[in-house]
Amino acid sequence: MTRYHNDLTWMLNSPELLQLSPDLSIRDLTQRMKVTNNFNYKETHRLGVYFEQLWQHLVYSCDSLEVLEHNLQVIIDKHTLGEFDSIIKDKQSQKNIHCELAVKFYLEVGEGSSLSDWVGPNLRDRFDNKYDRLFEHQLALSKNELIRQWLAQRNIKVDAIKLLTKGRLFYPLDDYMNDNFHFPNEVSNKHLKGFWTSWEDFAHLQLSSSIRWYLLPKKYWLSKVMPHEVEDLRPLDNKAILIHGHNESYRFQRIQQVVGVRDGSEIMRGFVVTSEWLQNAKARVKAPS
């Protein structure tokens, strides 16, 4: 199976990141979708853009759905008011559906029970800010009367709103190993999980287990790493150098995602962070929205 095939399958079958009401859940649409092998990938380094490409392929490949718009910018009087990720027509119900897409990865730096306790790897993104923007702005676009009139000029009337949320939450290593998970009420109980730890503690983890570790580029952040893909990953094998932190090629100055593999199968994945990153992350959690 190709990486694209596995990522398409992951998009359809992996658990939602957020706890969604039945009306908002997109499950009734994705259950009709099937994974095909003719995915037309367009080169991008942005995971969100790639995620949208996967969605577009699944919609185009589904006979009971029709694409009306993708990435439709709302520009009124020279002002951009927002963008619709996807507007599709459900041929079964004859309804036009506004679909919003989100793929996110957050690390628990605070206590975990509040959305504001979670930050993105680059620290620009905080879970509460994303959640508020998603529900108060993006999902509300088609409810805005001015925007509804703007859509009507394009012969589009939105009848329903759906949300697709995928991703993973990363817990402190000790909590992850002990299945001690504290997460916000807004998050699905079935969400995917990983760990985060310091480079020093990661070195001890590496020494104390039979797992082989590899750096995990962004293009592997969605579905599991398959056995035939492991040889394409960069190994973290030199334990002595890793412990002493003398190998500049590993770029200890920044956060890295890693994956642990045993007998060709992915066992776990997580982020390894620097002390500087952690200090900045704690400040980000305490900062006002």
- Distance from C-alpha of 23 to C-alpha of 161, rounded to nearest angstrom: 8
Residues 162 and 23 both lie in one domain: yes
Residues 174 and 212 both lie in one domain: yes
Q: Return the pLDDT at 248.
A: 52
Q: Return the pLDDT at 242.
A: 56
Label residue 249 left, alpha or beta by phi (over 0 means left) and psi (-120 to 50 means alpha). Answer: alpha
How is residue 92 written in tokens?
A: 């079964």
What is the distance, to the nearest Å, from the Cα of residue 45 to the centroid of all Cα atoms in its chain?
14
Q: How far is CA 206 from CA 37, 163, 214, 240, in A?
A: 37, 39, 11, 10
- Distance from C-alpha of 28 to C-alpha of 25, rounded to nearest angstrom: 7
- H or E element: which one contains 44? none
Q: Return the pLDDT at 236.
A: 87
- 110 located within any domain: no
Q: Return the pLDDT at 249.
A: 52
- Distance from C-alpha of 62 to C-alpha of 46, rounded to nearest angstrom: 25
Strands 256-262 and 160-172: unpaired
- H or E element: which one contains 70? strand 65-76
Label residue 123 left, alpha or beta by phi (over 0 means left) and psi (-120 to 50 means alpha). Answer: left
Residues 152 and 191 both lie in one domain: no
Residues 265 and 225 both lie in one domain: yes
Stretches where the chain sits below pLDDT 50 are: 240-241, 244, 246
- 129 located within any domain: yes
Residues 73 and 137 both lie in one domain: yes
pLDDT (tens digit per residue) in 104-153? 999 999 999 999 999 999 999 999 999 999 999 999 999 999 999 999 99
Residues 133 and 223 both lie in one domain: no
Residues 134 and 14 both lie in one domain: yes
Q: Return the pLDDT at 157.
A: 97
Q: Return the pLDDT at 250.
A: 52
How is residue 261 written in tokens?
A: 């593999």
pLDDT (tens digit per residue) in 254-289? 799 999 999 999 999 999 999 999 999 999 999 887
- Distance from C-alpha of 109 to C-alpha of 271, rounded to nearest angstrom: 12
Residues 198 and 119 both lie in one domain: no
- 34 located within any domain: yes
Tell me how many domains the chain contains. Answer: 2
Residues 119 and 204 both lie in one domain: no
Residues 211 and 142 both lie in one domain: no
- 240 located within any domain: yes
The structure's pTM equals: 0.93
Spatial CB neighbours of 159, under 8 Å, sequence gap ≥ 6? 95, 96, 97
User: 90 — phi, psi (to 5°)?
Assistant: -90, 110
- Distance from C-alpha of 30 to C-alpha of 215, rounded to nearest angstrom: 31
Q: Return the pLDDT at 172.
A: 98
